Structure 1
Amino acid sequence: MQALADHLEQELRSLANQAKSWPFEEARRILTRIGHKAPEKGYVLFETGYGPSGLPHIGTFGEVMRTTMVKRAFEILSDIPTRLFCFSDDMDGLRKVPENVPNPELLRQHLNQPLTQVPDPFEQYESFGQHNNAMLRRFLDSFGFEYEFQSSSEWYKGGRFDDILKLILAHYDEVMAVMLPSLREERRQSYSPFLPICPTTGQVLQVPIISRDVEAATITYRDEHTGQLVEVPITGGHCKLQWKADWGMRWRAFDVDYEMSGKDLIDSVKLSSQICRIIGGRPPESFTYELFLDEQGQKISKSKGNGLTIDEWLTYAPDVSLAYYMFQSPRKAKRLYFDVIPRHMDEYLTYLGKFNEQELAQKLDNPIWHIHNGKPPQAESALSFSILLNLASVCNAEDPSILWGFVTRYQPEASPEKLPFLDKLIKHAIAYYHDRVLPDKKYRAPSDLEKVALADLKTRLQSLPAVAAAEEIQTVVYDVGKAHAFPELKAWFSCLYEVLLGQSDGPRMGSFIELYGINETISLIESKL
């Protein structure tokens, strides 16, 4: 048995080395980086970063999901151990009060203090940073991610960054030479990679450094209120680094092998990489993903609130559809708006339906492999999300039992208990219909040409057996469209969608009619004529 298992593992690894899906391509880059042998630290380290000044968002999910996909791909290609650090920059100063928290006045009194020193406005944890860290961990745990949480405050205050901070101080002029050309003239006058924590106010200060003592590991700045010189250690959490220097320092301290970041951080990656090299480190393999766009094609901004939140997505579809969205074309800018949800849900279902019929080499490039780590659930039904959505639309469904009535006619043995994922899809479809479709639903009257074609369709459907299959029904729908003087078949299907369903696009009509019922469809046509 062991020999067979070893053989299967070798076959899987061999095929994975040829796989074209991007997580395997990234995993092979990491293997090349380390020369196909374990680094000195004994494992390959993946990192994702998080700024806990606000609650976790859909970008956080995307970065951890994609990094996890690469990590899993690497684990197929190699037996070298792996770790994933989710790092929270919770020692950063609170620069502004978020709009979506209670007790904003409480936070306003603690501006510029480290997030782990700011009181929790929710009154659940010792600090605002700890509250948001707990939210992040709960958020990641809910998706089953395997990671190790790392707190910036704990690393700085525990002295675990001290040796690397001393290297930054020793190479202060070189770090400044990297950073100053990237700054505006005004910012250059006050910039320092070190941000002292004020001994009296506890604030994270952005002040010019007057002098530094490498041997004593201290820096001196001028207090802007008293004018006096203040000397503070750079160790033990008395200082933190500006974030680009912090990023490069972290790569050196942890010996990070792989980290992703958005297109907007390309220049930051370059600067942090230079700083990492200055202090004797090797920057990680980087992966730049494109940014999300809103309904109008504009870049999504947390401050503008013009995007889609993870809670909104999960209101209308299961989390696997969001994982599929994150897998697809990460280097291409993509719209992140409500109307992309049904399509991505259906594409996920299509790939899931194909999975068990594929050869192993094909499975490795199927998104389903990366979403479920090679162990996907069984497809429960051939029904698509868009079919259920349009069924909810035609029935004006309020209750899942209405849709289940049609489903059990299509699949007699089906039930919510036996097919829980389908039941979840039905509930999501009803929610999406009521919130996103119904408010914009507009039926139109058929033209004279369309009336004749619809009457013809009604007659031909009446001649079909009540249990006619989707393909047979689809052929009838096509034949009707071809038999009448439509400029193109697309115009005929637009008629069906706009007249019968009250929307600009819709499902494959043969499948929809099979599920909805031939007699019900005939009645629907009669009501529009």
Structure 2
Amino acid sequence: MSRGGARGGRSGEPIDWVTRAADDAVRHAGEGNLVTVASGASPSGPIHLGNLREFLTPHFVAEELRRRGVAVRHLHSWDDYDRFRKVPAGVPAEWADHIGRPLSAVPDPWECHPSWAEHFKEPLRASLAEMGVQMDEVSQTVMYQAGTYREQVLHAIRHRDRIEEVLGRYRTKAAPETLAESEEEAESLADSVANEEEPAGSGDLARFPYRPWCGECGRDTTDVTSYDDETTVLTYTCRVDGHQGSTTVSEEDGGKLVWKVDWPMRWAWEKVDFEPAGLDHMTPGSSYTVGQELVASIFDWQAPARVTYAFVGIAGVQKMSSSSGGVPTPADALAILEAPMVRWLYTRRAPKQAFTIDFGPEVVRLYDEWDALRRKAADPAKRDVAVLAFERASATADGPLPVPDVAVPFRTLSSVADVTAGSADLISRVIEHLGFPHDTVEQLEPRLARAMAWTASLPAGERTTVRSDPDTDRLASLSEDEELWLRIFLDRLPDELELDEVTSVVYGVPKVARGLGFEDAPTDQVKADQKAFFTLLYNLLVDADRGPRLPTLVVALGAETVRRLLGAPTTA
């Protein structure tokens, strides 16, 4: 769908952060030119939900440009030529021997991928595909080892004095972790590769912009000891094994530019027009600040348009470093949330807004909010920024993302899954009785599987435990009112349970006990009786004072189980 040319917001359409970012990207590229939006990530560990902003932010911008008919590519750089920095929990201690080697050269301790880097790339690729994200992937290992950047490396070395002048001016700026708004955000920033700046040499060659890998051990723990500008022969000493080696930079490709020089070099090489970055890259003295000056003065390119994205928190998780395990990943989110909903979390807020994803009870409310927005989006007269976010989340230029044919409220699906602990077929049959007709289980997907997964993930204390046997002690101590309520309930409960009829019975029993009809308005006394009756049913059915909505619970359990647990005589 065209949005009326290279600029957005025409014809009174709502404008959001994506619209403005796309305008900035077009302005940088120039009208009529190919727009390159870029992302980059180091596969040092699981790509978590905080990292996902790096991928989705340029994706949404690229999608907006495609809708306008603008030629665009989303270029993603895998920084797999970065050094292996530390051994995370759960990995054998001997992997410390690989610290300082490229991520692409570190073996996979789980022995299922060719390297450490590939082990963490693959699951992220699968998650992005499920969310409809397409991008052109570039391995920095391949680019450097193929000699692609050889001339750029030599150019940077020739201008090393100017580079050092720029780096030196920013070296005393505030560390980004001092600017964080929370303790967990500060920890994430402190753990960022963006602020690494280890010397690459000593003496006059300190802060050399190019760091060779040791020819003996393969680590980047090298100090440059000499460099000949005419022959480009570089000598070095390894601080780990003492190896003294040399490389001819104009002919060999055994190293890489230091990060704060590497990033602006690639902006120019790739002709990047837009690239987001986290707070760790955007603070005074950090990567972007330095890079925007180096890219202009050294590499003859203008720093790309940008947005800064803020921290994404996960309820109950204190640390979001991709070098450590135990943090939720996009795959974890997609097991519980439909793919458009995951996209929606990242497009409905401007990147600079921090937010927290809660995988607890908030999931139910999140689905309710999403379903309400879907209904709103069906009315063209109500199209606003919120609906625009829904549209961006729901489809790409290739078409809509999968949603269930029959959209059963998540709270209903999860309640049934919780109570029955049954198969998808069993849940499907109960859902039919709850008033959601469908022909096949597949019509409830992908939401049904997510409801089952979310319910299974809940702590035992938050699950609904159906009694296996009647509570004979409680049944023997019923008050007169309670005996009357149960007698009326069992008498009026149909054998074939349908939600509307069961709802009428559940709410109507206390009315009948007070001489009213099912359709009569409840008195204050009846309202108090209803509360007590509901508690009684919960006590007898699930050994709790509350639980899933009672009519749903009764339908999910079935008439036979309900009658047995409420002490009704069994029939032969």
- If the TM-score is normalised by the length of the shorter chain, which range does it land in? 0.7 to 0.9
Correspondence 1:52-451 to 2 at 5 A: 52-77=43-68, 79-100=69-90, 105=94, 107-123=95-111, 126-134=114-122, 136-180=124-168, 181-182=170-171, 191-207=207-223, 209-224=224-239, 230=246, 232-233=248-249, 236-267=252-283, 268-279=287-298, 280-296=300-316, 298=318, 300-302=320-322, 305=325, 307-329=327-349, 330-339=351-360, 340-359=362-381, 361-362=383-384, 365-373=388-396, 375-376=399-400, 380-393=405-418, 395-411=419-435, 413-417=437-441, 420-436=442-458, 438-441=460-463
> 1:33 — aligned with what?
28
CA contact (8 A) 2:420 2:556 kept: no
Amino acid across the alignment from 1:402: L
Query: How far apart are residue 44 of structure 1 and its match?
Result: 0.8
Query: How far apart are residue 249 of structure 1 and its match?
Result: 1.5
Amino acid across the alignment from 2:73: R
Query: How far apart are residue 290 of structure 1 and its match?
Result: 1.6
Mapped to 1, the partners of 2:544 and 2:321 lie a distance apart of 30
Larger displacement relative to structure 2 (68-77 or 361-370):
361-370
> 2:475 — aligned with what?
none
> 2:19 — aligned with what?
24
Query: How far apart are residue 421 of structure 1 and its match?
Result: 5.0
Query: Which structure 1 residue ranges, 5 or more long, are not aligned?
Result: 444-450
| Pair member with larger Rg | 2
Mapped to 2, the partners of 1:73 and 1:496 lie a distance apart of 55
CA contact (8 A) 2:108 2:114 kept: yes
Amino acid across the alignment from 2:371: L
Aligned to 2:147, the other structure's residue is in SS state coil
Amino acid across the alignment from 1:250: R
Mapped to 2, the partners of 1:186 and 1:74 lie a distance apart of 36
CA contact (8 A) 1:56 1:136 kept: yes
Amino acid across the alignment from 2:153: L
CA contact (8 A) 2:84 2:102 kept: yes
- Cα 1:228–1:238 change in 2 (3 A) is closer
Query: Which structure 2 residue ranges, 5 or more long, are not aligned?
Result: 176-195, 466-479, 511-519, 568-572
CA contact (8 A) 2:502 2:551 kept: yes
- Cα 1:306–1:333 change in 2 (3 A) is farther
Larger displacement relative to structure 2 (51-60 or 63-72):
51-60
Amino acid across the alignment from 1:22: W
| RMSD (CA atoms) | 4.9
- Cα 1:228–1:148 change in 2 (3 A) is closer
- CA offset digits 1:363-405 (Å, max 9, x no partner): 9614233331274367633521012222333x34322333222
Aligned to 2:36, the other structure's residue is in SS state strand
Mapped to 2, the partners of 1:43 and 1:259 lie a distance apart of 15
By relative contact order (CA 8 Å, sep 6+), the higher-ranking structure is 2
TM superposition score normalised by structure 2 = 0.71
Mapped to 2, the partners of 1:414 and 1:121 lie a distance apart of 46
Larger displacement relative to structure 2 (88-97 or 472-481):
472-481
TM superposition score normalised by structure 1 = 0.76
Correspondence 1:476-491 to 2 at 5 A: none
Query: How far apart are residue 479 of structure 1 and its match?
Result: 6.7
Mapped to 2, the partners of 1:54 and 1:430 lie a distance apart of 28
CA contact (8 A) 2:348 2:389 kept: no
CA contact (8 A) 2:344 2:389 kept: no
Query: How far apart are residue 115 of structure 1 and its match?
Result: 2.8
Larger displacement relative to structure 2 (328-337 or 117-126):
117-126
